[in-house]
Amino acid sequence: MSTAVQTDLDVVVIGAGFAGLAMLHRVRESGFDARVYEAGDGVGGTWYWNRYPGARTDSECYYYCLSFSKELVEEWSWSERYPGQPEMLRYLDFVADKFDLRKDIRFGTRVTSATFDESSNTWEVATDTGERVRSRFVITGLGLLTAPHIPDFRGLDSFAGDTYLTCRWPAEGVDLTGKRVGIIGTGATGVQAIPIIAEQAAQLTVFQRTPNYVVPAQNRPMEPDEIADLKARHYEILAKARNHSFAMPFDPGHGPTAEFSEEERQRIYEEGWASGGFRFLFETFDDIILDEAANESAAEFIRSKIRGIVHDPETAELLSPRGYPYAGKRPPAGHDYYEAYNRDTVSLVDISKAPIQEITPTGLRTADATYEFDVLILATGFDAVTGALTSIDIRGRDGLTLKEKWADGPSTYLGLTVHDFPNLFTISGPGSPFANIPVCIEKNVEWIGNALDHARKSGVEVVEATAEAEADWDRQVQEVVSGTLLTQGAKVHSWFTGANIPGKKPVVNVWFGGANNYFAACDAVAERGYEGLTLTR
Ligand code: NA7
């Protein structure tokens, strides 16, 4: 451990995406001396790194944004219902400039370790640029989907063409015109990238292990009247989102599926399909993620749409998910996704039964065939939720690392704090909701900001979750999901069970008990004087 401490800070924030920017602003408003460390050369987090063709939000613009400043809400206007990555990045740049956040951000600087010093109750934070700082609090804003997952394909380095990772796509773009492209991965990323790549490439081969349930997003430009109306109602919309189980300002569904005739169901599904994206899941029927028959009914509707769109019946069948529930994996939103397979230049290879055996200098080889291409694209996902946190050497009491503590699955209190890791706060940490992220982030930011204010006012030096409160929260995280179909994602490598990473113990790592209920639980803890946390003067 270095003793060359150069600076004393109240707060170190790791990451300059939505979470880090909002957190920096919040603690600065309270007069804390704060610094953000960001590995990228600019702000944006997820929206800085994920520049692949077709990258855009799966949530609508007017609630996938920050709300802490009325002026910001007033000044920024979105151009599309689902903003593309360049627009999202422009937005976060605008936020950074408007609130003069950059002066407290160290870009191009990765935090390598954070060590809690029990003698001074401070954190010693070290970076890959050689900085060492001592801070009272450390707050992580690392994002849920940050640490790339690159499967251990034999021969990956032998490929003679260019290989690209979607989440590390070059900022200057890649010209795929006339190229033969192979892409592995058909999650939310692959589903967005495939139709755009298909427009450019001479030939695109898609390697699919598990088909997804893809509902079209129904993107369109935003109209001036609509923008004005949404701005005027922003805080009403936010209140509605905060009251929704997935933090989206949606209306409830029509009720339980079984209460409707087949004809009525089809009409409601069609309406949901036309509304687009997550609205299909949440505004059609209320029991899709709870009841197997209801889920199968919605799933079959989606399969019927696939059969209607994709001309080749064999391809349509390969694209049709079976054997796991709709929403058992995080469902992607499509932009002419299925339509892309009607191009003569796009072919789909099922690697579920004949897996990839090795990457070769000219392409890849599965158990029963070889394929050739010039460019290989990996859209293979992330070591989600815990991966970014455990990639930093974070040491709490008695030198315990977060990686050791979470060897059998993550454990937190409210997804925000960890026993044995005092004065550490994790925005959107494991055990916090997987829901519309900016809304969840801002609730976390408010809660942490208020906790820090409270600590300072009361002369508290150490804030730490009790072991009991943490165990109780972990139990609740597992309990609330057990009555849903979401646990079944484990059998199809869903990242929210950790099952997409070979060797990672499958355990549901996010809160599925309703974002609204989660927000209420966090508020109640604060109102009761930070119940479940030890506050030491
Ligand atoms: P996902 O949703 O985890 O998708 C990763 C894809 O990569 C998925 O189709 C995987 O197939 C595939 N994959 C992963 N490993 C392999 C191996 N070894 N062989 C073949 N195929 C593989 O990540 P995304 O980036 O698309 O989306 C992540 C989140 O970002 C998304 O949920 C949104 O919240 C935004 P599998 O399905 O595991 O069979």
Checking if the pLDDT of 258 tops 70, the result is yes
Quickly state the pLDDT bin for 489 (edges 50, 70, 90): confident
What's residue 505's pLDDT?
87
Question: Which residue's CA lies nearest to atom 27 of ligand 1?
Answer: 188
- pLDDT (mean) for 47-60: 98
Looking up tokens 């790791």 gives: 14
Checking if the pLDDT of 472 tops 70, the result is yes
Checking if the pLDDT of 372 tops 50, the result is yes
What's residue 488's pLDDT?
85
Question: Which residue's CA lies nearest to atom 20 of ligand 1?
Answer: 209
Checking if the pLDDT of 6 tops 70, the result is no
Looking up tokens 């805080």 gives: 235
**What's the gap in Å between 437 CA and the centre of ligand 1?**
19
Checking if the pLDDT of 4 tops 80, the result is no
Q: What is the CA radius of gyration of the chain?
A: 23
Burial class, 216, CB count within 10 angstroms (exposed 0-12 / middle 13-18 / buried 19+): buried
Domain residues of the chain, as ranges? 9-147+384-461+512-536, 156-221+245-378
Out of 57, 194, 209, give the residue to mutate to test ligand 1, the one with the largest number of ligand atoms within 8 Å of its CB. 209
Q: Residue 174 is which amino acid?
A: V
- CB distance 209 to ligand 1 below 6 Å: yes
- CB distance 491 to ligand 1 below 6 Å: no
Question: Which residue's CA lies nearest to atom 35 of ligand 1?
Answer: 188
* Ligand 1 atom nearest 152 alpha carbon: 18
**pTM for the whole thing?**
0.96
What's residue 37's pLDDT?
98
- CB distance 428 to ligand 1 below 6 Å: no
- CB distance 506 to ligand 1 below 6 Å: no
- pLDDT (mean) for 423-437: 97
What's residue 1's pLDDT?
39
**What's the gap in Å between 125 CA and the centre of ligand 1?**
33
Checking if the pLDDT of 2 tops 60, the result is no
- CB distance 186 to ligand 1 below 6 Å: yes
- CB distance 189 to ligand 1 below 6 Å: yes
**What's the gap in Å between 27 CA and the centre of ligand 1?**
36
Out of 154, 189, 376, 504, give the residue to mutate to test ligand 1, the one with the largest number of ligand atoms within 8 Å of its CB. 189
Checking if the pLDDT of 5 tops 60, the result is no
* Ligand 1 atom nearest 378 alpha carbon: 7
Quickly state the pLDDT bin for 491 (edges 50, 70, 90): confident
- CB distance 185 to ligand 1 below 6 Å: yes
Question: Which residue's CA lies nearest to atom 26 of ligand 1?
Answer: 187
- pLDDT (mean) for 481-486: 91
User: How far is 109 from 123, CA to CA, in rounded Å?
Assistant: 17
What's residue 531's pLDDT?
97
**What's the gap in Å between 43 CA and the centre of ligand 1?**
25
* Ligand 1 atom nearest 381 alpha carbon: 23
Query: Two tokens at 403?
Result: 């990686």
- pLDDT (mean) for 271-298: 97
Percent above pLDDT 90 for the chain:
95
What's residue 7's pLDDT?
55
**What's the gap in Å between 492 CA and the centre of ligand 1?**
10
Residue 454's SS3 state is: helix
- pLDDT (mean) for 231-237: 98
pLDDT in tens, 383-422: 999 999 999 999 999 999 999 999 999 999 999 999 999 9
Query: Two tokens at 25?
Result: 């602003």
What's residue 8's pLDDT?
87
Question: Which residue's CA lies nearest to atom 10 of ligand 1?
Answer: 185
What's residue 3's pLDDT?
43
- CB distance 379 to ligand 1 below 6 Å: yes
Question: Which residue's CA lies nearest to atom 29 of ligand 1?
Answer: 188
* Ligand 1 atom nearest 496 alpha carbon: 32
Task: Encode 345-393 in three state secondary structure.
Answer: CEEEEECCCCCEEEEECCEEEECCCEEECCEEEECCCECCCCHHHHCCE
The per-residue pLDDT of the chain, averaged, comes to 96
E strands, 155-307, are 162-165, 180-184, 203-208, 215-216
Quickly state the pLDDT bin for 487 (edges 50, 70, 90): confident
Tell me which residue of 40, 76, 83 sits closest to 171, measured CA to CA. 40
User: How far is 500 from 209, CA to CA, in rounded Å?
Assistant: 12
Q: What is the CATH number of domain 9-147+384-461+512-536?
A: 3.50.50.60
What's residue 99's pLDDT?
98
Query: Two tokens at 94?
Result: 């605008």
pLDDT in tens, 158-201: 999 999 999 999 999 999 999 999 999 999 999 999 999 999 99
**What's the gap in Å between 175 CA and the centre of ligand 1?**
24
- pLDDT (mean) for 515-535: 98
pLDDT in tens, 306-333: 999 999 999 999 999 999 999 999 999 9
